[in-house]
Structure 1
Amino acid sequence: MQAILATLGYVTSPDRRKVLMIRRDTRPDDIHYGYYNGLGGKLEPGEDVVTGMRREIREESGLESLSVELAGTISWPGFGRNGENWFGFLFRVPAWSGTPLAGNDEGSLHWMDIADVLAGKLPMWESDRHFLPLVFADEPRPFHGVMPFADGKAQSWSFS
């Protein structure tokens, strides 16, 4: 399978009760428009996934990632606007320096309660509710999942 390689990171507050999220609210043609999401994006040629995650965090939030922990991986066949396959490396970022920006070209940044995120109180991809409990588990273990998409909706979810 050919796929677009991407990172998705969750910067947590020092007490680990909040997570910095982007509300995609700048471009109405964005497939993520109106949704809250972690920070991240496509890997650049010649870039390893940790370097790519740190770059995306810096570009999108202005923060420097001091600690980056692999939460897991997800294969998203058919996720893209035109049915492209995506493969994501998900990270927790518990240690960082700097002051987050108010927003960027893709949206505004907000510190959100992790409990609210897990309870589904934010507009998000419905499918995120399947894997976010694994990302924010009290005793997290790396997971590797697959979530096929069709017509903009997750069709199933499995992981090991």
Structure 2
Amino acid sequence: MQAIIATLGYVLSPDRDSVLMVRRDTRPDDLHYGKYNGLGGKLEPDEDVVSGLRREIHEEAGIDCAAVEMAGTISWPGFGRGGANWFGFLFRVTAWTGTPLSGNDEGSLHWVPVKDVLAGNVPMWESDRHFLPLVFADSPTVFHGVMPFQDGRALSWSYSS
């Protein structure tokens, strides 16, 4: 399977009660329009995944990652435009420096209570509810999942840790 390799980072507040998220609200043609998401993006050919995550978070939020923890990986076959396959490396950013921007080219940035994210009180991909409890667990373990998509909807979810 060929896939677009990407990073997805969840920047936590110092007390770990909130997470910095982008509300994708600048381009109505955006596949993610109106949804909240973590920060990240496509890996460049000359980057390892942590370097790519650090670059993306600096570009999107104006902050520098001081401590990064691997949360897991997810294969998203059929997720992208035209059924493109994506493979994501998910991280928790537990320490950072700088002052977060208020927004970027993709949308506005917001500190969102983790409890609201987990309760489904934030507009997000419906499928995110399956893996976010693993990302924000009190005693997290690294997980590896697969979530096939068709026509913009997840068909299933499975993972191992």
TM-score, normalisation: structure 1: 1.00
User: In 2, distance between residues paired with 1:52 and 1:61?
Assistant: 14
Q: Is the partner of 2:56 in helix, strand or coil? A: helix
2:60 corresponds to: 60
How far off its partner does 1:24 sit? 0.1
Amino acid across the alignment from 1:140? P
Could you tell me the percent identity over the aligned residues? 77
Q: Aligned residue for 1:13?
A: 13
Q: Per-residue CA shift, 1:107-129, capped at 9, x if unaligned?
A: 00000000000000010000000
Over aligned residues, Cα RMSD in angstroms? 0.3
State the alpha-carbon separation in 2 of the partners of residues 82 and 107 from structure 1: 23
Segments of 5+ residues of structure 2 without an aligned counterpart are none
Separation (CA, whole Å) in 1 of partners of 2:43 and 2:68: 16
Which residues of 2 match residues 129-148 of structure 1 at below 5 A?
Answer: 129-148=129-148
Query: 1:2 corresponds to which residue?
Result: 2
Look up the match of 2:92.
92
1:5-44 alignment runs, 5 A limit: 5-44=5-44
Counterpart in 2 of 1:47? 47
Which runs of 5 or more structure 1 residues have no equivalent in the other structure?
none
Which runs of structure 1 show a deviation greater than 2 angstroms over 4 or more consecutive aligned residues? none
CA–CA separation in structure 1 for the residues paired with 2:72 and 2:119? 21
Cα-to-partner distance string for 1:40-60 (whole Å, 9 max, x where unaligned): 000001100000000000000
TM-score normalised according to structure 2 size:
0.99
Matching residue of 1:80? 80
Task: State the aligned residue count.
Answer: 160
Deviations 1:84-142 (A, max 9, x none): 00000000001000000000000000000000000000100000000000000000000
Alignment partners' CA distance in 1, 2:81 and 2:116: 28
- CA-CA distance at 1:81 after TM superposition: 1.1
Deviation at 1:32, TM superposition (A): 0.1
Q: What is the DSSP-based 3-state SS (H/G/I as helix, E as strand, rest coil) of the residue aligned with 2:81?
A: coil
SS in 2 for 1:55: helix
* Structure 2 residue identity aligned to 1:113: P
